[in-house]
Amino acid sequence: MTVAKENGGGNDGPQWVLPTEIEFEQLKGHQLEECVFWLLDGMGAKDIEWRVGGKGGGAADGGRDLEARLFTSGDNGIMEPRRWWVECKGRTGTLEKEAVTVACNNAVANPEVDVLVIATNTTFSNPTRDWVKTWQQRFPKPEIYLWDRRSLEQLLGRQPATVLRLFEKGLSSAGYMEAVRERFWNLLEYSSIERLKRIWKERDNLQIGPMERVALIANEFAHGNIDERPWAGGSDSEAAVQAFHYAMLNVIYLFFRVTKYGATQEPVIQTLAYVTLAALRHIDADVVVHVMKVALQTEEESTLKPELVEHLLMPFLDALRGDLQAVCTADCPRFSRDSSLQALGVSDPLDTYWARFSSKGARQASNVDYSRLQNLREPCIVGFDLRDEAGCPLYEVVYQNDDFQSFLEIAEYVIRRRARVVGRGRRK
């Protein structure tokens, strides 16, 4: 990547960061070093390390506080590693010239250093900048980058995840959303429920694309469920279908990240199940199946490999089937259930499930389970034609390998009738 000298470059994107909310005056010692450490990490630096004797007290080894390698494109177009030294100088007023001259003279004595960054939370005087330009003419290597407060503001403006880590109140709502997206897709990490609530409250003023929507959905499931803030089910058809397409076309990537980071796969499985069901409200099951096959099918194979279906599709199809079995039977006359807890005034969590396909969501219900027994003589609540004592299709359907369209057709039928109801007996 290209790193601009002096100011670190501009920020032409949305306003993710609110610099006025970052207390740069207090950004000294270890805090300043940590800020630059994560900025370097966000820039793609490798082998970042605090030098012995550093960590806020000033390094004793050659003067630098941080050391890292960054890859840049050379004259031949090949990516080449460059060794960076970083000195962090927290001050109350303008950084004194002597601190800069000492840092430059220390670095030039080591021929392995390609770049020297001198970072401060305040400013550099004009005479100091002039001295660096003159010194650089005599010593082309290392290149000297002066990062002052304005530089740090601009660098942080391109890295909302770093701001979220260090200066949470310095993020705008758009910055919160960008940080949630970046942490999920890059690291499979999840943000706090308070951040999700803030984004939901201001969602009408934010641009939420499919990448952000999938990340928000996964974050909700990481905290429990999505009934209160239905990011896909309560959105318009285009947004819901785009979220499904994006999630499905990245299904291999998602499970690879789960394995790489040793993360729990449950939020990913629930996310895939949810966006699939949300899409079935708007597109037919055969289209959904086609997208799934495109996501997993190779050019050489006309059919899906059984192992891919087993490890990537079956987990969330099974989760989806289990959800529908539980919630569609909750008030179906074909199924009896223990109502003793209802007599005590305990709310049924199944009442809130369909709210994840509404525009407002639902209040969280208590976690209550009910046992069910099927009565084959009663009619199906969603209208399946069940004659001759046929069982509920949600329990009878069998799918294996790449033959799962029949189940998705049943799911499509259920969701298009059930999603009209928010809770029991209440319309959207």
Span 233-252, pLDDT tens digits: 878 899 999 999 999 999 99
**The two structure tokens encoding residue 241:** 């279908």
pLDDT tens track for 341-361: 444 344 455 667 777 887 777
Provide mean pLDDT across the span 153-169. 84
pLDDT tens track for 85-131: 999 999 999 999 999 999 999 999 999 999 999 999 999 999 999 99
Tell me the three state secondary structure of residue 252. Answer: helix
Residue at token pair 């993710």: 16
Question: What phi-psi label fits residue 44: left (phi over 0), alpha (psi between -120 and 50 degrees) or beta?
Answer: left
pLDDT tens track for 121-144: 999 999 999 999 999 999 999 999
Element holding 116 (H helix, E strand): strand 115-120
Provide mean pLDDT across the span 44-69. 69
What is residue 86's predicted lDDT score, i.e. its pLDDT? Answer: 96
Q: Is the pLDDT of residue 59 over 70?
A: no
Mean pLDDT of the chain: 83
Q: Name the amino acid, one letter, at 64.
A: R
What is residue 176's predicted lDDT score, i.e. its pLDDT? Answer: 83
Half-sphere exposure of 309 (CA within 13 A, CB side): 14
pLDDT tens track for 296-315: 876 555 677 888 888 999 99
- Give the global pTM: 0.69
Q: Is the pLDDT of residue 12 over 50?
A: no
Give per-residue burial for 86-95: e unless 16+ CB within 10 Å, then b: bbbbbeeeeb
Q: Is the pLDDT of residue 419 over 70?
A: yes
Would you give the distance in Å from CA 205 to the centre of its chain? 19
